[in-house]
Structure 1
Amino acid sequence: MTILKLVSAMVLVSFLASCAESPTGRRQMLLFSDGEMSQMGGTAFDEMKQKMTINKDGPTNRYVSCIADAITGSLSSEWRGSWEVVVFEEDSANAFALPGKKIGVHTGIFQVAKNTDQLATVIGHEVGHVLAHHSAERMSVQSVASTGTQLIGVLLGEGAGKETVMGLLGLGTQYGVVLPYGRAQESEADLVGLDLMAKSGFNPEASVTLWQNMSTLSGDQPPEFMSTHPSHSSRISDLQKQLATARPIYEKAKANGIRPSCQL
């Protein structure tokens, strides 16, 4: 057997052994373990804390942590508890969550997430990316495409390619390598996050308003077929459809006394 055939066979075996299913039933290839992804996420988060200015305002941090704790507290046992939450002084309307139970929120997000339920939409969406293993999925695809590049070694050590790894984790804007999640992953995180916020006692109706605010802030978008992200209108439409599922979850949470009191 030639080396090429051997490598191809190994890749095929790895693919078959790593087939997984996302929360919405989409097939995924996952070549990295949760432990490996947590290590990468933790290392990336530590670097972000060194590179960026951390917000020290007490009320702001308590507000963000209250929402994040309510959402992560409703997760299954394997995901629940001990999430590190950091607010960064950054004007961009952004937030992120990383494997290893890390959540980062930019102060610029308050331009669009104007109340508790809207910020819960954002944090729920970002946590949804982690629950759906989207970073591991992108790492796996990149690993196969780059013929076995040692992505973990690149991130934990020094050398060319580190920016790409950070981009795959969803931190590309800070490193000049913009690798946004794909359209399917973004839509999936929207739906997972919507049900998650509703389960945590936040009003899912706010998700529509949030994306209306985002649309107003960002202005005209390119046609959806030219973008890796769903258009704001498609996003809003999909969320409105999912509200039929999310509303009963929210009402059940309220009936069970789950009503987070998070105020800024």
Structure 2
Amino acid sequence: MKTYFLFFLMIFVVISCATNPFTGKKTMALVPNSQILPMAFEQYNQFLSENKVVTGTAEADMVKRVGQRISIAAKRWLDANNFPGYLKDYKWEYNLVEDETVNAWCMPGGKIVFYTGIMPIASSETGVAAIMGHEVAHALANHGQQRMSAGLLQQAGAAAGNFAFKDDKQRDIFNMAYGVGTTVGGILPFSRGHESEADKIGVYIMAIAGYDPYEASKLWERMKASKSGKKGPPEFLSTHPSNDSRIDNLSALAPKAKAEAEKFGVTQFRQN
């Protein structure tokens, strides 16, 4: 019974894959976007109804302006790389929300929120573009879909293990080892990989949008120096790479991002 279950699970995973347009790699897609996007849009609208959306200010207008430029750059890249129509189901929306949390996010389908708490660290329009590019990249690369798929696989593995072990003591040992092992050895590295991938995609898109990609590493230098950048677990226990790793990676990616932008005729880059 257990063997059949694992066999059919493997077949299901193999056929439930999507292609990441930025890497060409196959990614898990156990939950289709046709289900994910409507849920994301509903949750986004609910979030906005429960929080204070900032409108009519210079910062709010800047978030919308940068978001529009980043989304246009993403479409240009996707069209040029034989992915026309990739964004057809996106319903872009960019909002600034009053909250001291140092964060920003993009839901599947292009629903974006910046918290006012991250604006001082962004410091400039180009800093906002670096954040925006990164967050949009998560949606473009279907990272939410992949995380949901990984969670389902983790749950399926736990169910199979609990079915296999009849003895309560053995089952308890399995659950403890499985929980720690799949989290530290699987889910957390998976998440850090997504963050690094979003850094790369994001810095390319911001450059195509006309923003200096060298400013992305400077953003993370400011993040590192901030109060929020001084706390957190070791990298191997974190969902994100360390600030130092990100700064180094983004610095190395900047010249490549400029070279990619030049393919689209972009040779002048905004620095502030």
CA contact (8 A) 2:103 2:115 kept: yes
The answer to whether structure 1 residue 225 and structure 2 residue 236 are counterparts is yes
| Aligned partner letter, 1:16 | V
Q: Which residue of 2 aligns with 1:246?
A: 257
Task: Tell me the CA shift for residue 106 of structure 1.
Answer: 0.6
Runs of 4+ deviating beyond 6 Å: 257-260
Tell me which protein shows more helix as a share of its residues: 2
Give the one of 7, 13, 22 matched to 2:5.
7
Task: Tell me the CA shift for residue 121 of structure 1.
Answer: 0.4
C-alpha separation in 2, matches of 1:124 and 1:68: 8
Change (3 A) 1:26 1:60: same
Give the one of 213, 216, 220 matched to 1:207.
216
The answer to whether structure 1 residue 70 and structure 2 residue 81 are counterparts is no
What CA deviation, in whole Å up to 9, does each residue of 1:173-212 have, x standing for no partner? xxxxxx9971111000000000010011111011011000
Task: Tell me the CA shift for residue 25 of structure 1.
Answer: 5.1
Task: Tell me the CA shift for residue 145 of structure 1.
Answer: 2.5
Q: What does 1:33-48 correspond to in 2, within 5 Å?
A: 33-48=32-47
CA contact (8 A) 1:67 1:116 kept: yes
C-alpha separation in 1, matches of 2:253 and 2:267: 23
CA contact (8 A) 1:181 1:229 kept: no
C-alpha separation in 2, matches of 1:123 and 1:71: 7
> Structure 1 stretches of 5 or more lacking a match?
149-178
Q: What does 1:183-202 correspond to in 2, within 5 Å?
A: 183-202=192-211
Secondary structure of 2:146 counterpart:
helix
Q: Which residue of 2 aligns with 1:50?
A: 49
Greater displacement, 53-62 / 135-144? 53-62
C-alpha separation in 1, matches of 2:18 and 2:34: 16
CA contact (8 A) 1:93 1:111 kept: no
Q: Which residue of 2 aligns with 1:16?
A: 14
Count of residues in Structure 1 that have an aligned counterpart in Structure 2: 229
- % identity of equivalent residues: 30
Change (3 A) 1:34 1:198: same
Secondary structure of 1:182 counterpart:
helix
> Structure 2 stretches of 5 or more lacking a match?
79-84, 158-187
Secondary structure of 1:112 counterpart:
helix
The answer to whether structure 1 residue 28 and structure 2 residue 37 are counterparts is no
C-alpha separation in 2, matches of 1:233 and 1:25: 28
| Aligned partner letter, 1:8 | L
TM-score (norm 1): 0.77
The answer to whether structure 1 residue 237 and structure 2 residue 242 are counterparts is no
CA contact (8 A) 2:210 2:266 kept: no
| Aligned partner letter, 1:216 | A
